[in-house]
């Protein structure tokens, strides 16, 4: 016999979307159980993007113990660099809003800490095998815990916050590939290095040799990326080769070099699941969509989904009003497609495709020049970057 647990909302995935949702539901008096197949350490050490939109910071600030203000850094602008010249986009001057550099693993540490302190039922190392009855009023999850013991969770609603490779995307959308999809012929080679910052603000640099992003993590650790072939083996380049690739892609700036202690290759995909809701199960965050990392929309979009779904769950479970839930896919989709466009646009404007012609490159420079020379253009970028 497997053990059975009962809750109101079963949340699969203890990433930012799942944890934030459990937090907000608890504040509304709605109990949940959060399951994740990964260990707590694995979750807290996942290296992801670091830029939070203005609205995301407002939401995270409300969480007790959040260090977004004390550890995060406010950025009032970003630099777009092409033809060896940097152009500052004054985010704050244009929109009155800033973004914050606060890496996702720090967000996760805050959220896990706050949820555990509040007594949230949070199960790491729990692998979901099946989700049954999503078209009924009592969906049920069959899972095994870290010791291989089977258990079941009976709930009134199931939320898939288990990322692009999770089980819920297939349950809700029909298959994990069912939806709108685009692949890109390049990837990012990412590094973490021990060095002081090379610049005060992030640099998005488009060069004839490809794109590079100079980001940061702290006063002593920096995060940088350069455009690479998606099939490159991260271990195949020497540190000298990596620095050479980076320096060439940010002409006109001397990047401060230092020992590289982490490297990874990030593949680029755009995806939106064909369905976000099926009966009593819904998708949020990366389970619902994937964006390429240019513009750092992934985590921010997950937070936006959660806010919409949380309102729908409150209406459904506290007031027996189904309408906001039925509207969830449409309401969430509006922002999802804005973010899809923004991420695709930043990506295509700044990267050099392997088959790009001289015409394509000159056109790109034309696009970048039109953007930085126009207040409307800079404003469009600033609005999207800081969040609609």
Interacting residues with ligand PHB (CB under 6 A): 49-51, 202, 213, 215, 223, 293-296
In the complex, the smallest distance separating the C-beta of residue 100 from ligand PHB, rounded to whole angstroms, is: 11
Active site residue 103: no
> What span, in angstroms and rounded, lies between the C-alpha atoms of 309 and 297?
18
In the complex, the smallest distance separating the C-beta of residue 295 from ligand PHB, rounded to whole angstroms, is: 5
Indicate which residue of 102, 184, 204, 225 is catalytic: 204
Tell me whether residue 287 is exposed, middle or buried, using C-beta atoms within 10 angstroms of its C-beta: 0 to 12, 13 to 18, 19 or more: buried
Residue 272 CB coordination number (10 Å): 21
Active site residue 234: no
3-state secondary structure of 136: coil
> What span, in angstroms and rounded, lies between the C-alpha atoms of 111 and 105?
10
3-state secondary structure of 317: helix
Active site residue 184: no
Tell me whether residue 170 is exposed, middle or buried, using C-beta atoms within 10 angstroms of its C-beta: 0 to 12, 13 to 18, 19 or more: middle
Residue nearest to ligand PHB (CB): 215
- Smaller CB separation from ligand PHB, 52 or 283: 52
- Smaller CB separation from ligand PHB, 229 or 264: 264
CA-based radius of gyration for the chain? 21
Give the contacts of 234 (CB within 8 A, at least 6 positions apart).
189, 263, 264, 265
Handedness of CA 151, 156, 161, 167 (dihedral sign): positive
HEC profile for 141-152? Answer: EEEECCCCCEEE
**Backbone φ and ψ of 174, nearest 5°:** 110, -45
Residue 262 CB coordination number (10 Å): 12
- Smaller CB separation from ligand PHB, 143 or 296: 296
In the complex, the smallest distance separating the C-beta of residue 297 from ligand PHB, rounded to whole angstroms, is: 8
In the complex, the smallest distance separating the C-beta of residue 343 from ligand PHB, rounded to whole angstroms, is: 9
- Smaller CB separation from ligand PHB, 124 or 211: 211
Cα→Cα distances 308→104, 295, 328, Å: 21, 22, 7
Active site residue 225: no
In the complex, the smallest distance separating the C-beta of residue 5 from ligand PHB, rounded to whole angstroms, is: 37
- Smaller CB separation from ligand PHB, 179 or 295: 295
* C-alpha of 326 from chain center: 25
* C-alpha of 253 from chain center: 28
**Tokens for 321?**
């009003």
> What span, in angstroms and rounded, lies between the C-alpha atoms of 166 and 158?
13
Indicate which residue of 102, 184, 225, 385 is catalytic: 385
Nearest CA to 209 among 263, 246, 239, 256? Answer: 246
- Smaller CB separation from ligand PHB, 225 or 328: 225
- Smaller CB separation from ligand PHB, 59 or 350: 350
Any idea what the Cα angle at residue 229 is, between residues 227 and 232, rounded to 5°? 115
In the complex, the smallest distance separating the C-beta of residue 301 from ligand PHB, rounded to whole angstroms, is: 13
Residue 8 CB coordination number (10 Å): 17
Indicate which residue of 103, 139, 197, 293 is catalytic: 293
Active site residue 324: no
Indicate which residue of 139, 297, 324, 329 is catalytic: 297
Residues classed as catalytic: 75, 204, 293, 297, 385
């Amino acid at each position: 016999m497997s053990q059975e647990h009962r809750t109101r909302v079963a949340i699969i995935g203890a990433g930012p979307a799942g944890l934030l949702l459990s937090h907000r539901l608890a504040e509304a008096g709605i109990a949940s159980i959060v399951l994740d197949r990964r260990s707590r350490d694995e979750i807290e050490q996942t290296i992801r993007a670091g830029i939070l939109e203005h609205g995301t910071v407002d939401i995270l600030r409300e969480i007790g113990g959040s260090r977004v203000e004390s550890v995060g850094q406010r950025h009032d602008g970003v630099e777009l660099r092409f033809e060896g010249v940097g152009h500052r986009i004054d985010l704050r001057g244009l929109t009155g809003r800033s973004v914050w550099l606060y890496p996702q693993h720090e967000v996760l540490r805050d959220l896990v800490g706050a949820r555990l302190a509040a007594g949230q039922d949070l199960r790491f190392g729990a692998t979901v095998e099946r989700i049954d009855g999503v078209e009924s009023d009592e969906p049920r999850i069959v899972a095994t815990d870290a010791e291989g013991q089977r258990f079941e969770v009976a709930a009134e609603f199931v939320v898939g916050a288990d990322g692009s490779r999770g089980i819920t995307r297939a349950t809700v959308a029909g298959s994990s590939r069912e939806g709108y999809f685009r692949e890109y012929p390049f990837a990012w080679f990412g590094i973490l290095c021990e060095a002081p910052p090379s610049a005060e603000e992030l640099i998005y640099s488009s060069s004839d040799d490809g794109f590079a992003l100079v980001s940061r993590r702290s006063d002593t650790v920096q995060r940088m990326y350069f455009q690479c072939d998606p099939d490159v083996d991260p271990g195949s380049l020497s540190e000298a080769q990596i620095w050479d690739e980076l320096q060439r892609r940010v002409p006109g700036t001397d990047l401060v070099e230092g020992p590289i202690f982490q490297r990874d290759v990030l593949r680029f995909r755009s995806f939106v699941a064909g369905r976000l809701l099926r009966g009593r199960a819904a998708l949020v965050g990366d389970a619902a969509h994937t964006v390429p990392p240019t513009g750092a929309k992934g985590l921010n979009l997950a937070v936006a989904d959660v806010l919409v779904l949380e309102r729908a769950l409150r209406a459904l479970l506290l007031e027996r009003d189904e309408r906001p839930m039925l509207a969830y896919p449409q309401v969430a989709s509006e922002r999802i497609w804005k973010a899809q466009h923004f991420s695709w646009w930043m990506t295509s404007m700044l990267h050099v495709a392997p088959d790009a012609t001289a015409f394509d490159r000159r056109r790109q420079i034309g696009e970048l020049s039109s953007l930085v020379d126009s207040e409307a253009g800079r404003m469009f970028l600033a609005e999207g970057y800081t969040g609609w």
